[in-house]
Amino acid sequence: MREFPASAEEWSRSVNRLNRWEEQHLLVDDPRPERLAEHRKRVERLMFLGQLCALVAAHPALGDSDTARMVTATQEVLRNKLKMFHEVMEPGRAEAILKEAFPEPRPGAAR
Q: How far apart are CA 28 and CA 8, in angstroms?
A: 31
Q: What angle do CA 66, 15, 67 make, to 5 degrees?
A: 10
Q: Domain range for residue 75?
A: 4-101
Q: What is the pLDDT of residue 63?
A: 73
Q: How far apart are the first and last CA of the chain?
A: 58
Whether 70 maps to a domain, the answer reads yes
- Between 3-12, 18-27, 37-46, 57-66, the lowest mean confidence (pLDDT) is in 57-66
Residue 107 lies in a domain: no
Residue 110 within a domain: no
User: What is the total count of domains within the chain?
Assistant: 1
pTM of the model: 0.80
User: What pLDDT, on a 0 to 100 scale, did the predictor assign at position 98?
Assistant: 83
Q: How confident is the model at residue 94 (pLDDT cuts 50, 70, 90)?
A: confident
Residue 72: inside a domain, yes or no? yes
